[in-house]
Chain A
Amino acid sequence: MVRAMLTAEELEILSTSLGVAGRAVLVSLPVAILFAWALSRPRFPGQSVLNTIAHLPLVLPPVLVGYMLLLAFGVNGPLGGWLKATFGIQLALTAGGAAVATAVMSFPLMVRAIRLSFEATDGGLFEAAAVLRASPWDRFWSLALPLAWPGVLAGAVVAFAAGLGEFGAVITFASNIEGETQTLPLAINAALNTPGRDEVAFRLASISLIVAIVGLLAAEGLQRWARRRLEG
């Protein structure tokens, strides 16, 4: 049905967007879980620094984030050069780079949702597990994560939906390459800047809106379902 409604160009843009946002979630989810877990613990030295790092993309201009990524992971950057030389991986100007830029930008949203879920877990349960011989690492895997998973799921879906709309960081770090890094917002921008492509821009904007709404509804629904399963 989607195939019948969308043109080949629109399908390609949508699939690039979904691929970039999906990979961004996969990249950032494990790191976001660790950050959220650390931030939900009682105060420890360095927690404020960790909190600042996690929330930095929220307050920095996206273009600046893209520029910083370019400096670090560009072909001539210290990390980018090492990646290229060691693994043959290039991030700048590739779909992988678009996913990394998107992951960085949606990271704070994901950390926030997961952290709230960790914080909502009754701390007394960890004490109960400790006196049953569960080590801190064991308690994380056997209790913290299973109890927080509605939040983890919601964080992932919200980050995915937000990732579909990421513009500034992606265009700066990965540029606007059709079929490679041209996601929905980049394609809308390109169409708007091309005379006679207003209708294309409008159709792409509509697709973007529908995908975002579906994403948010899915996040809400999944969270409710998971919580019902957990609490009965």
Chain B
Amino acid sequence: MSLDLSGAVVQRGAFRLSADLSVPAEGVTVVFGPSGAGKSMLLSAVAGLQKLAAGKLSFNGRVLEDVLQRVRVPAHDRAIGLVFQDARLFPHLTVRGNIQYAEQRRPAARNAPITLEISRLLEFEDLLDRPVHNLSGGERSRVALARAIVSAPELLLLDEPFAALDGRRRRDFARVLKQLSHDHGVPMIVVTHLVDEAAELANHVIALRAGRVVCDGKPADAMMRPEFSRLLDVRDRGAWVQGAAGFGSGDGVWVRADSVLIGASEPKGISARNVWPGRIASIVREPDGAILVCMATDKGYILSRITPEALSDLKLEEGGAAWAIVKSHAL
């Protein structure tokens, strides 16, 4: 069960997106990349809103588009939902009307939450009879997600669904999203350019840059590759760490190299709750002069950015023992 793109090319003006991918049709897949990488374009092509210029696209064995065979299933027949970044709520309907629009068009056999149920889950029950132009950005995002879930898609695509939400809501929303995907068995593909969000949500990661897939796979693998690291701003560099109690809201968490301290001996009497022993795997000098230390711990690889002075004071060496110290709020 998967979404497969083989030799797929999408062209818009001078921009060209090429993809050869097989995305598992389960859990949450994150499409990560900087602005202009082609993330939204990929979603548009999968949803059927943008034609392929070449190649083939199929979902769970059903061919949705094949340029050579001149096959193209229109967007309304694909059973693929899409939550747009700008929500795109219908202005002539109330919140309830928007969600019922989806409810009335879903096949009777598909099991999905009804309007009231989803509005409770996403905490906008009191907004149901409001016209949509009175909603805040965050409220619009929640209604747009609810509308898409109620339509009972076989695959749900989400284009930066958290863009209009503040920090706390973002985390709540991410948790609900994973829950919905799990409870209703709806695989999701979520676009984001935020690495924390990617780490928290992903069961599978696709990294894009300038219209090309630079890496894809399980987050523990894909997010630890140099190709992935090169997509990140220096301040965002870090490591994907398996989630545990108190760690973020999902399966994993992104630990920024800037948030990790290194001890040459086991630290005692400090406030940090997360102290992980390990060995230094590599020490690399970064273009900006900082030192990037990679440690192998039982949590996986951890990166720490330190100054050259700290490196010489601590006398750190590759293969030597060290302790990674991470404050809880960095997780």
Are the C-beta atoms of A133 and B88 separated by less than 8 Å? no
Docked complex Cα distance between A143 and B89 (Å): 11
For B142-178 the 0/1 string (1 means CB < 8 A from A) is 0000011001010000000000000000000000000
**Which of B73-81, B240-248, B277-285 lies on the face that meets chain A?**
B73-81
Are the C-beta atoms of A134 and B84 separated by less than 8 Å? no
Q: Which residues of A contact B133 (CB under 8 A)?
A: 231-232
Docked complex Cα distance between A138 and B76 (Å): 10
Shortest Cβ distance from A131 into B: residue = B82
A147 beta carbon closer than 8 Å to chain B: yes
A146 beta carbon closer than 8 Å to chain B: yes
Are the C-beta atoms of A133 and B106 separated by less than 8 Å? yes
Are the C-beta atoms of A132 and B81 separated by less than 8 Å? yes
Are the C-beta atoms of B92 and A230 separated by less than 8 Å? yes
| Also in contact, A132 and B134, with CB within 8 A (given A125-B90, A127-B75, A231-B91) | no
A34 beta carbon closer than 8 Å to chain B: no
B105 beta carbon closer than 8 Å to chain A: yes
A53 beta carbon closer than 8 Å to chain B: no
Nearest-Cβ distance from residue B206 to partner chain A, whole angstroms:
20
Docked complex Cα distance between A163 and B292 (Å): 80
How many Cβ-Cβ contacts under 8 Å join chain A to chain B? 69
B131 beta carbon closer than 8 Å to chain A: yes
| Also in contact, A125 and B88, with CB within 8 A (given A131-B49, A232-B133) | yes
Nearest-Cβ distance from residue B105 to partner chain A, whole angstroms:
4
Q: Which residues of A contact B47 (CB under 8 A)?
A: 131
Q: Which residues of A contact B75 (CB under 8 A)?
A: 127, 130-131
Residue of A128, A138, A146 near B88 (CB, 8 A) is A128
Q: Which residues of B contact A231 (CB under 8 A)?
A: 91, 133
A48 beta carbon closer than 8 Å to chain B: no
For B79-102 the 0/1 string (1 means CB < 8 A from A) is 111101010111110000000011
Are the C-beta atoms of A130 and B134 separated by less than 8 Å? no
B48 beta carbon closer than 8 Å to chain A: yes
Shortest Cβ distance from A147 into B: residue = B92
Docked complex Cα distance between A230 and B94 (Å): 11
The residues in A between 114 and 130 inclusive whose CB is less than 8 angstroms from any CB of B are 122, 124-125, 127-130
Residue of B76, B86, B147 near A124 (CB, 8 A) is B86
Docked complex Cα distance between A130 and B101 (Å): 11
Q: Which residues of B contact A122 (CB under 8 A)?
A: 88
Are the C-beta atoms of A130 and B81 separated by less than 8 Å? no
Can you name 14 A-B pairs with beta carbons within 8 Å?
A124-B88, A125-B90, A128-B89, A128-B90, A130-B49, A130-B74, A130-B75, A130-B76, A131-B49, A132-B105, A132-B147, A133-B151, A147-B91, A147-B92
Besides A129-B101, A132-B76, 16 more A-B contacts (Cβ < 8 Å) are A128-B82, A131-B49, A131-B76, A131-B78, A131-B80, A131-B153, A132-B81, A132-B148, A132-B151, A133-B76, A133-B77, A133-B79, A133-B105, A133-B106, A230-B92, A232-B131
Tell me the A residues contacting B by CB distance below 8 Å.
122, 124-125, 127-136, 138, 142-143, 146-147, 230-232
